[in-house]
Amino acid sequence: MRAGPNQYSPMSGVLALHEAIALKTHHLYGAQYDPGTEVTVVASASEGLYATISALVHPGGR
């Protein structure tokens, strides 16, 4: 496990995946994102939606 990649990826994701997503986004849309700070990888769509809604919607808010 200490020697390198294994079945347990870091909670923040693997940097190589973040870099590949940023590069693909640049090629497809011309947008440039910092893979270290502007790309987020989640385990599922449900997790991503829940995290986004929870961050933006608050009790009593409109």
Q: Identify the pLDDT of residue 47.
A: 92
- Could you read off the pLDDT of 3-56 as tens digits, one per residue? 777 777 777 778 899 999 999 999 999 999 999 999 988 888 999 999 999 999
Q: Identify the pLDDT of residue 11.
A: 75
Q: What letter would DSSP give residue 27?
A: H
Instruction: Decide: pTM greater than 0.75.
Output: no
Taking alpha carbons only, the member of 12, 2, 8 closest to residue 42 is 12
Taking alpha carbons only, the member of 6, 39, 47, 37 closest to residue 20 is 39
